Structure 1
Amino acid sequence: MPIINSIISMFSSKRLTQIEYFKTNPVQVQRDTLDELLRTAATTEYGQKYDFASILTAEQYRERLPIIHYEELAPYSERLMNGEQNLLWPEPITWFAKSSGTTAAKSKFIPVSKTSLEECHFRGGKDVIAIFNNLYPDAQAFNGKTLALGGSSEISKTNNNCRYGDLSAILISNTPFWANMMKTPDQSIMLMGDWEEKIEKICETTIKEDVRSLAGVPSWFLTLINRILERTGKDNLHEVWPNLELFIHGGINFTPYREQYKRLLPDPKMKYLETYNASEGFFGLQDDPSDPSMLLMLDYGVYYEFVPMSELGKSRPKALLLEEVETGVNYAIVISTNGGLWRYMIGDTVQFTSTRPYKFKITGRTKLFINAFGEELIIDNAIAALNRACEQTGATVLHFTAAPVFMNENKKGAHEWIIEFGTPPSDPETFADMLDKELQHANSDYEAKRLLSLQRLILHVARPNLFIDWLKEKGKLGGQNKIPQLWNDRTHIEELLKM
């Protein structure tokens, strides 16, 4: 075992025991988390409004506090950004994670406390290292540099005591100096605001580094990887960094990109671990390379509830406690955190694959779906169908979006897709046929509506860089900004069709 791996093992053995404890005692750990959150925040404005001190059970908490969205959180964030304190959490809140979720114009500013940074986000990063080291004790991934590709927004000051930026920028700005010594490029490049300039600087400064691991969003990393190969004239990334063996990824579903990464990173020693780290907290990580599901991290100061999709849209949706969830059901996540979020619906949907321990996969977002005809197509269905169509045709996909074509008196409705291919199919119409059939296979509601109210999907093959140009036009190029892959109206697709 390499010396650095031995050191990691020594420092992480206690933590691995703690992880095993919450895996076998999930309900108790979550109850303890809720009790600690309520006790800590009892004297805040929010805590006094809902009398946290008198809440004794999870059921009381669920009944007393409403589920909120960003619209209800925004007034508190604005007051905090203007200097008020002790509103949601007793610690001074000076950092805010700027998030747009999809490409909506309105930005969200999520309060980030010192405790949530240390006990949630950074603990998650440490646990990734501990678990990987435990899985692969002879790996050499930590003997060199980690190339972390973060958001392309600069840290901005709104007043003397308040700063905001992408979550990745906040994490970079608060990372201890010793941890930064293991990363590349340096902070000045990682925090650059101009995405295209940042890509060029990263290429210039990291090509000759001993990069052994990557960390970031798969779609944006493809942009960087292709630019590095273009500059070096190499065929794959192992020819640039021969010791590269780990990609820690998150932010989007990896399935559509897997085949491209196999081609760009062909060495069999290459390993992948998925994480679920959002602006609101670090929620899960992959602890078994043979299982694509992620372990729900239960002791990060985050208390979880889950709303069945059938409850969405109701004025008072019922949220389930952890012990009430079932496998194979789609839920919207509701969280209460040590950053001062209280029964906050973050917009992501998950499906549990196991309850012993609690493991899950991300299935989409509460807004990323198409249900114009009762078909209830979620992103998980769409990606599964897209992946199978690619397997049958040898195609690969870089970016895509889909939206409904609404019925009129003379014509059935349809789903309209724009796909930018990495490797295009030989016949796009054959691909469209296959994709349509696979959507029916993945979603019985879509299959039923195809017999009644829907015609075969419409496919447009996008020109190169269409989606990148669209994001650039919106000022949202790079980092944590994501393309809305499914949308229930035609707002985004009409803009893309014009381009």
Structure 2
Amino acid sequence: MAIIGNIIKGFIEARDTLSKERNPIEEQKKVLQELLEKAKETQFGQHYQFGAILNSENVAKAYAETVPYFDYNKISGEWWTRTLKGEPNVTWPGSPDFFALSSGTTGKKSKRIPVTEDMIASIKKAGIKQVYALSNFDMPADFFEKEIMMLGSSTDLRERQGHKEGEISGISASNIPFWFKKYYKPGEEIAKIDDWDERVLTIAKEAKNWDIGALSGIPSWMELMLKKVIEYHNLEHIHEIWPNLQVYTSGGVAFDPYEKSFNALLGRPIQIIDTYLASEGFMAFQSGPDTNAMKLITDNGIYFEFVPFKSEYINEDGSLVEDAPALTLDQVQRDEDYVLIISTVSGTWRYLIGDTIAFTDVENAEIKITGRTKFFLNTVGSQLSVNKLNDAVKHLEEELDIKIPEYTLCAKRFDDGFYHSWYLGSDRSVDSTKTAEILDSFLKQANKNYKVARSKALEGVKVAFVPQEVFAEWSGANKKKGGQVKMERVMGEEKFEEWEAFVAQEMEN
């Protein structure tokens, strides 16, 4: 009998029963008030007159009218460079102990995003909220006695000018509570291995010694780790070595493109739980099994605003035009795409995180991630967001009975005009012409703007198949293998040239 598991499960269920009803709109008003109050004496708070904003009749409206939008380059260039040089009280009181190196999806230079003590506390609090939500999934008692494989970036953080640097998954794992360490795998020693391939090989060697009940990490890298374990031990599927595996907590990107290839590695279905943990904070998690939407965490040091995701509000580089309207939680509508704007306890103000979301339930603040602002394909008026591209790839998987966990594309000019040039990552290829026809037909039916573009400047679709491993090697070549890495779903022409040259070289080797 799982005595400890029953105790833990009972505590979680009792705690969830006692939880009060949420009011996300009121929680967000309180969070904004607290953020402004705490930061009003910082350099940023004085510059933008937080004190005056707090005294206004409508704090949210005054805040939006006074403080401009910031993307990383703007807030880093104007403010965070001072923090990196050691100046205190720049955008948040004191000095941050950590900086998250955001691997991102564009460019080879890492972003450095401050992670304050308040943000560490916020991430821990969000993690506890997610654990409490497990009461909704009706997990068996013995699940709470199993180990959890957290596959992130290295926890061997680098010392730099009085602070430590690493990816957010590494920072989070290096700050796990003492009581959790007995459940945490691969353990502190293996987690510190910086080289991704060496770390995964070490995990494969040790896998037989662990009783894993849950997995946590980005789907693409989790798949590759599971494949390595299966290959190393000559298994049919992962449940042969981890028979008690019941849960996978996904995050960072939409799980849909990976669903078919991921499930092929399992001996039986497991519960998939989506989370939204970024370098800038832990923002949402799936709170029940009857939905794939995630609940925004509206009472935990992050204030959210939402800009309608329309082409007239988005610059070509993915940034926002200055006068793009921002909505608060009480103004949004269901099933509309929004650019997510956040302000946080790390001194991040009206910050364009780069993700687009849509609400599935406004009253309960439940969302799904629909894409990235920089992955918005509108070069020739096709107006395709990543969720539409994901839907098209899923349709291909069903029509052709293949697995396509990775892809990228570009609106590329050929001699006879613009085409959407797709690279599909799959270990089995089919006829490229047939695939292109299926893609083109699906997108015409699914998106009216694409259909219009096809009658004008867009000539059609071109498709090439490459092994899935090529996508991982591309990330490795850009010093982004493992961790929080997200593959570029849409590339500009210059980056796409680099990608095609890389693919050609890989296919020759």
Q: Does TM-score exceed 0.5, indicating one fold?
A: yes
Asked whether the 8 Å contact 1:372–1:488 carries over to 2, the reply is no
CA contact (8 A) 1:468 1:477 kept: yes
Per-residue deviation, 1:67: 0.9
Worse-matched range after superposition: 96-105 or 343-352: 96-105
CA–CA separation in structure 2 for the residues paired with 1:172 and 1:78: 26
1:328 matched to 2:335: yes
Determine the C-alpha separation between the residues in 2 that align with 1:350 and 1:285: 13
> 2:29 is matched with which residue: 25, 28, 31?
31
TM-score normalised by the chain length of structure 1: 0.94
Aligned-partner SS, 1:457: strand
What secondary structure sits across from 2:86 in the alignment?
Answer: coil
In the alignment, the residues of structure 2 paired with residue 280 and residue 123 of structure 1 have an alpha-carbon distance, to the nearest angstrom, of 15
Distance in 2 separating the partners of 1:407 and 1:231 = 44
The answer as to whether partners of 1:66 and 1:316 remain within 8 angstroms in 2 is no
Question: What SS does structure 2 have at the residue aligned with 1:370?
Answer: coil
> 1:30-429 maps to which residues of 2 (within 5 A)?
30-56=28-54, 57-75=59-77, 76-119=79-122, 121-152=123-154, 154-159=156-161, 161-268=162-269, 270-310=270-310, 311-313=313-315, 314-406=321-413, 411-425=416-430, 427-429=431-433
Amino acid in the other structure paired with 2:427: G
- Judge conservation of contact 1:147–1:183 (CA < 8 Å) in 2: yes
Q: Is the 8 A contact 1:8 1:130 kept in 2?
A: no
Deviation of the 1:13 alpha carbon: 4.2
Amino acid aligned to 1:151: S
Give the SS at the match of 2:289: coil
For residue 106 of structure 1, report the CA deviation from its aligned partner: 2.3
Q: Give the Cα–Cα distance (whole angstroms) in 2 for the partners of residues 16 and 454 of structure 1.
A: 55
8 Å CA contact 2:155, 2:171 repeated in 1: no
With over 3 angstroms needed to count, the CA separation of the structure-2 counterparts of 1:137 and 1:232, relative to structure 1, is closer
Aligned residue number for residue 469 of structure 1 = 473
CA distance in 1, matches of 2:376, 2:302: 27
Question: Is the 2:155–2:191 Cα contact (8 Å) retained in structure 1?
Answer: no
Q: Give 1:16 shift.
A: 6.3
| CA shift in 2, pair 1:402/1:139, >3 Å | farther
Name the structure 2 match of 1:438: 442
Q: Deviations over 1:174-203 (max 9, x none)?
A: 112221211111112112211111111111
- The match for 1:447 among 446, 451, 456 is 451
- Counterpart residue type for residue 417 of structure 2: K
Q: Deviations over 1:228-259 (max 9, x none)?
A: 11111110111011111110011111111111
Point out the more displaced range, 486-495 or 203-212: 486-495
In 1, Cα distance between the equivalents of 2:66 and 2:13?
A: 39
Name the stretch that deviates more: 270-279 or 469-478: 469-478
Distance 1:421 1:380 in 2: 19
Of 338-347 and 81-90, more deviation after overlay is shown by 81-90
SS in 2 for 1:127: helix
Measure, in 1, the Cα distance between the counterparts of 2:139 and 2:335.
34
Paired AA for residue 288 in structure 2 = D
In 2, Cα distance between equivalents of 1:153 and 1:393: 41
Residue identity matched to 1:242: P
2-structure distance, mates of 1:438, 1:222: 27
Question: Counterpart amino acid of 2:125?
Answer: R
Between the aligned partners of 2:490 and 2:200, the Cα distance in structure 1 is 28
Q: Aligned-pair distance for 1:429?
A: 2.4
Alpha-carbon spacing, 1:247–1:60, altered in 2? closer, same or farther (3 Å): same
Q: CA deviation at 1:455?
A: 2.2
Cα deviation, 1:344-364, whole Å, max 9, x if unaligned, reads 111111111121211111111
Indicate conservation of the 8 Å contact 1:398/1:422, yes or no: no
Secondary structure, aligned partner of 1:215: strand
SS at the partner of 1:484?
coil
SS of the equivalent of 2:435 reads helix
Separation (CA, whole Å) in 2 of partners of 1:150 and 1:38: 33
Q: Distance in 1 between matches of 2:142 and 2:35?
A: 39
Would the alpha carbon gap of residues 17 and 296 (structure 1) be closer, same or farther in structure 2, given more than 3 Å must change?
A: farther
In the alignment, the residues of structure 1 paired with residue 5 and residue 112 of structure 2 have an alpha-carbon distance, to the nearest angstrom, of 38
In 1: Cα distance, 2:444 partner to 2:7 partner:
51
Alignment counterpart, residue 480 of structure 1, candidates 481, 484, 497: 484
Question: Which secondary structure state, in structure 2, belongs to the residue aligned with residue 192 of structure 1?
Answer: coil
Instruction: Check the 8 A contact 2:274/2:286 in 1, yes or no.
Output: yes
Aligned partners of 1:350, 1:2: CA distance in 2, in Å?
41
Which letter does structure 2 place at the counterpart of 1:412? G
Q: Give, in angstroms, the shift of residue 116 of structure 1.
A: 1.1
- Contact 1:350–1:362 at 8 Å: present in 2 too? yes
User: What TM-score, normalized to structure 2?
Assistant: 0.92
Question: Identity of aligned pairs, percent?
Answer: 31
User: For 1:431-468, what per-residue CA distance to the aligned partner results, in whole angstroms no more than 9, with x for missing partners?
Assistant: 22112211222221111111222222100111452222
After superposition, the C-alpha distances for 1:259-287 in whole angstroms (9 at most, x for unaligned) are 1222211324x111000000001111111
What do residues 60-82 of structure 1 show as CA deviations (whole Å, max 9, x unaligned)?
Answer: 11111111111122143222222
Distance 1:97 1:142, change over 3 A: same
Checking the alignment, whether the CA contact within 8 Å between 1:156 and 1:164 is kept in structure 2 is yes
CA contact (8 A) 1:394 1:423 kept: no
Instruction: Give the Cα separation in 2 of the matches to 1:34 and 1:13.
Output: 30
Choose from 464, 470, 478 the match for 1:460: 464
* Backbone CA RMSD of aligned residues: 1.9
Distance in 2, matches of 1:414 and 1:195, equals 36
Cα offset for 1:407?
6.1
How many angstroms apart in 2 are the aligned matches of 1:470 and 1:375? 27
The answer to whether the 8 A contact 1:103-1:481 is kept is: no
2:493 counterpart SS class:
coil
Gaps in structure 2 of 5+ consecutive residues: 316-320
